[in-house]
Amino acid sequence: ARRAADLSGILNGIDTGEWDPATDPDLPTHFDVRDLTGKARCKAALQAEAGLPVRVEVPLFAVVGRLVAQKGIDVLAAALDRILGWGVQLVLLGTGEPELEAFLGRVAASRRDRFTAWFRFDEARAHRIEAGADFFVMPSRFEPCGLNQMYSLRYGTLPIVRATGGLVDTVVNYDQASGEGTGFVFQDLRPDSLADTVGWAVSTWYDRPHHVDRMRRRAMAQDFSWGRAAREYVRLYHAAYARRRGHPFA
């Protein structure tokens, strides 16, 4: 805190060659910010892969990652019954704490028409989930930077994140009046806060679909590449050099 003026944060970058919905070899079809019709086909394919009813009108939520307390999965578990009660669909991919896996597995077995859980690591499926889902849920307790929300933004899948670390640095909260933003951000890590925010996304999906489309396109147009991060490192080095030497870097 004493040296706040000396600190600078630089976000991670993502591999925009590997994570590109226009060329991704793991997807059943491709799409980009100019033409999103392929995303609807990716959604239908993901619903079929997950054994869920193929329904374009139902919002499809996703979770990919470690099933541990750091990622807030225990909070998601506590909110799950309320969330699924709205008739949404949810796919989950990840491994982690045995008790969380067991609980989520029981819920998935009892709500097969709405919730599918895969307890394994599968890189290709993670790509298909990012492409096919409408919303990505990431309720982390702490997240120094995070990558999945950046993958989601690149694939037009709107993140629902807690306001912590790199999540709040990369996701712009939705403004219901103007339609601005790139996702949905909540403050308190509690089951009701998470559920309320998912509910906000659901109401936006049904009541303001034009806002969802605008946010998707805005999200996909952002630059989270390592090229951007590298330019920030160069800028920071030049600033540090000038501060130390008293003149700009030649």
- Which pLDDT belongs to residue 250? 86
Q: Indicate the pTM of the whole model.
A: 0.95
- Which pLDDT belongs to residue 23? 98
Mean pLDDT of the chain: 97
- Which pLDDT belongs to residue 29? 98
Q: How far is the C-alpha of 191 from the C-alpha of 143, rounded, in Å?
A: 18
> What digits encode the pLDDT tens for the residues 10-26?
999 999 999 999 999 99
Q: What is the DSSP string of the chain?
A: -TTGGG-------B-TTTS-TTT-TTSSS--BTTB-HHHHHHHHHHHHHTT----TTS-EEEEES-BSGGGTHHHHHHHHHHHHTTT-EEEEE--B-HHHHHHHHHHHHH-TTTEEEE-S--HHHHHHHHHH-SEEEE--S--SS-SHHHHHHHTT-EEEEESSHHHHHH-PBP-TTT---SBEEESS-SHHHHHHHHHHHHHHHHH-HHHHHHHHHHHHT---BHHHHHHHHHHHHHHHHHHHHSS---
Q: Torsion over CA of 66, 83, 188 and 93, rounded to 10 degrees? A: 10
Contact 225/14 with Cβ under 8 angstroms?
Answer: yes
The percentage of residues in the chain with a pLDDT greater than 70, rounded to a whole number, is: 100
- Which pLDDT belongs to residue 135? 98
The pLDDT of 136-164, averaged and rounded, is: 97
> What digits encode the pLDDT tens for the residues 171-213?
999 999 999 999 999 999 999 999 999 999 999 999 999 999 9
> What digits encode the pLDDT tens for the residues 94-107?
999 999 999 999 99
Is it the case that residue 92 has pLDDT exceeding 90? yes
What are the structure tokens assigned to 250, written together? 């030649």
> What digits encode the pLDDT tens for the residues 37-71?
999 999 999 999 999 999 999 999 999 999 999 99
